[in-house]
Amino acid sequence: MSRRDMAKPLLGHRSTEGDPGITPAAGRTIGVLGSGDFARSLAIRLVCSGFKVVVGSRNPKRKANLFPSAAEVTFQAEAVKKTDVIFVAVFREHYSTLCDLADVLVGKILVDVSNNTEINHHKESNAEYLASLFPACTVVKGFNVVSAWTLQSGARDGNKQVLICSNNQEAKRTVAEIAQVMGFTPVDMGCMSSACEIENIPLRLLPAWKIPIFLALGLFLCFFTYNLIRQVIHPYIRENKNKLYKIPIEVVNTTLPCVSYVMLSLVYLPGVLAACSQLYYGTKYRRFPDWLDQWLLHRKQIGLLSFFCAALHAVYSLCLPMRRSHRYLLIETAVKQAVEKKMNIWVEEEVWRMEIYISVGIIALGLLSLLAITSLPSIANSLNWREFSFVQSTLGFIALVISTLHTLTYGWSRAFDENQYKFYLPPTYTLTLLVPCTVIIAKVIFSLPCIQHRLMRIRRGWEKGRYVKFVLPSATGEYSSGETSSNV
C-alpha cells in the first residue's frame, strides 16, 4: 500500500460532492403523511438525524404544536410537493383518502410503514395495496418493525433492524440510507412480494419459542403427574395421609429439576443423532429429516428454558425451610428424638451426600447461567466461533455431566431401596437419568480417536464411496494432506 493510500481513512463518510446523481441522505427533506404517534416519533428521529422534515396533515394548525419546531407542519398536498421521499404514517383503511394527492405524488417514493392487526389479514400486503392506488409512485415497505417508542428513544434502546423491500432498487437504496443515518440497520428483504412477510413479523408471538415451550410444558405435566402420584396420591391411598399441602412447593420443586435436566440433555441429543446419521451414511451432504432440522434449530431456546427451570428450582429449594410444614416436621422429629433420648443424630454419609449434592448443584447452575448469558445475541456476537463453540459445546456438556452428578448424589442409594417404589413406580430421578446418560455415553464413544477421526473427515467433506483429496489437522494442530478412497 502506498503512503498516499495509507493517509486515507479506512472508514469515513462517503463523499457525495461532485456527484450530481447522489443527494447526501442527511440534510435532505423527508415528508411524513399523518400526524399520529408514529408520524410524531418519526419526525423527531428524522430531525435529530439531521433531516429537514415536512409533515402533511389534514389539520396542520391543530397538530403543529405536537411536532418539534424544526419540523414544518402543513397541508398534505403542500408537504408532498416539497419532497421526493414520503413516509405514509396512515392506517391502510385510510389510504384511499389520499387519492386526491395522486397528481402531486407522481414519481415520488412512498414508504409504507403500516402494520395489520392479524397475520395475513388481507389478500395483498398493505404496501402492494398502496402501490396499486398510486401506480405512478415507487413504494418501499419499511420501518413497520420498529415501534413509535423505539423511534423516539433512539435505535440504541430497541430493535435496530429495519426490514426493507421494494421492486425498485434505487428507491430501496435511498430508504436504506435514510435508515442508516437514523441509526438503524437496514436489512434488504428483496422485492415487494416480501412485504406480506415483513408485515406479519410484528404480529408473530415468539415463533421460535413455540416448540420448546410446548416441550417444556409437556415434560412438566408428565413429571408433575408422576410426582403427584408418588408424593400425594400414594400416601393418601396406602396410609390415608393427607399430603395435599405438598403440591404447591414440594411437588413443583421435584418436577422443575427433572424438566431442566431432561431439557438440557435434549439440547445435546440432536447433535448426537446428527453425528450418528453422518457416520451411518458416511457423508455430511445428506439432508437431515425435517424434525431433526427443527430440533437443531431450537437448541438455544430449549437450553434457555432448561436454565429457567433450574433457576426456579434453586429459588424453590432456598425457600423450602421457610415453610410452616417444614418447621412442624423438624420440631416433631426433634421431639421424637428427645423422647427416645437419642443424643447423636449425626449421620456422616448423609452429611457428605448433602454437601456434595448442593455443591455440584450450584456449579451446574453457574454453568447454565454462563450458557444462557453467552447465547444472548449481544454477547454471542462478541465471541469468535471457537469461543462460542467452547462455551456452548464443551462447557454445556460439562454442565450436563455435573447435573448428572447432582442427580446421582440426590438419589444416592434410593434406587435400591424397595420402599422408594411407590405403586411399583421407580423414583423420578431414575427416569430423568435415561436421556442424559445416553447422551453422555454417546459423546464419550464419539470422542474415541477412531470415531472422532472419521467424524471429523466427514465434516470436512469426505464421503463414503468417493475418491477425494482431503486435508486434516494432525494431533499437533498441523495440517496433513492425503488421498483416500471410499471405504477407508
Shortest separation between residue 133's beta carbon and ligand NAP, angstroms: 13
Buried b (16+ CB within 10 A) or exposed e, 406-439: bbbbbbbeeeeeeebebeeeebbbeebbebbeeb
Shortest separation between residue 161's beta carbon and ligand NAP, angstroms: 13
Q: Report how many residues bind ligand NAP under the rule CB under 6 A.
A: 21
* Cell numbers for 220: 412438566
Q: Characterize the bridge pairing of strands 479-484 and 161-166.
A: unpaired
Q: CA of 430: how far to CAs of 416, 425, 437, in Å?
A: 11, 10, 11
Nearer to ligand NAP, 130 or 440 (CB): 130
Nearer to ligand NAP, 37 or 463 (CB): 37
Q: Looking only at residues 135 through 194 of this chain, which bind ligand NAP when binding is defined by CB under 6 A?
A: 144, 147-148
Of positions 29, 75, 82, 91, contacts ligand NAP by CB under 6 A:
91
Q: Looking only at residues 17 through 36 of this chain, which bind ligand NAP when binding is defined by CB under 6 A?
A: 34-36
Shortest separation between residue 100's beta carbon and ligand NAP, angstroms: 11
Residue window 108-137: x/- pattern of binding to ligand NAP, with contact defined by CB under 6 A: -----xxx----------------------
Nearer to ligand NAP, 114 or 403 (CB): 114
Count of residues for the chain? Answer: 488
Cβ proximity of 115 and 202 under 8 Å: yes
* Cell numbers for 102: 395522486
Contact flag: residue 407 with ligand NAP (CB under 6 A): no
Site stretch for ligand NAP (CB under 6 A), options 51-59, 266-274, 293-301, 368-376: 51-59
Separation of alpha carbons 260 and 222, rounded Å: 13
Shortest separation between residue 129's beta carbon and ligand NAP, angstroms: 12
Residue window 305-344: x/- pattern of binding to ligand NAP, with contact defined by CB under 6 A: ----------------------------------------
Of positions 37, 188, 197, 463, contacts ligand NAP by CB under 6 A:
37
Cβ proximity of 160 and 45 under 8 Å: no
Place of cell 496433513: 480
Contact flag: residue 39 with ligand NAP (CB under 6 A): yes
Contacts of 465 (CB under 8 A, 6+ apart): 282, 486, 487
Closest alpha carbon to 64 in 49, 91, 43, 85: 43
Contact flag: residue 59 with ligand NAP (CB under 6 A): yes
Residue window 352-371: x/- pattern of binding to ligand NAP, with contact defined by CB under 6 A: --------------------
Label each residue of 395-456 as H, E or C: HHHHHHHHHHHHHHHHHCCHHHCHHHCECCECCHHHHHCHHHHHHHHHHHHHCCHHHHHHHH
Separation of alpha carbons 458 and 22, rounded Å: 50
**How far is CA 463 from its chain centroid?**
34
Separation of alpha carbons 308 and 155, rounded Å: 29
**Amino acid at residue number 175:** V
Nearer to ligand NAP, 163 or 455 (CB): 163
**Amino acid at residue number 298:** H
Contacts of 429 (CB under 8 A, 6+ apart): 258, 407, 410, 411, 414, 415
- In this structure, what DSSP letter does residue 89 have? -
* Cell numbers for 169: 432498487
Shortest separation between residue 461's beta carbon and ligand NAP, angstroms: 45
> Which residue lies nearest ligand NAP, judged by its C-beta?
36
Nearer to ligand NAP, 197 or 463 (CB): 197
Shortest separation between residue 59's beta carbon and ligand NAP, angstroms: 6
Of positions 25, 54, 71, 90, contacts ligand NAP by CB under 6 A:
90
Shortest separation between residue 169's beta carbon and ligand NAP, angstroms: 24
Nearer to ligand NAP, 143 or 410 (CB): 143
Binding residues for ligand NAP, per CB under 6 A? 34-39, 57-59, 63, 89-91, 94, 97, 113-115, 144, 147-148
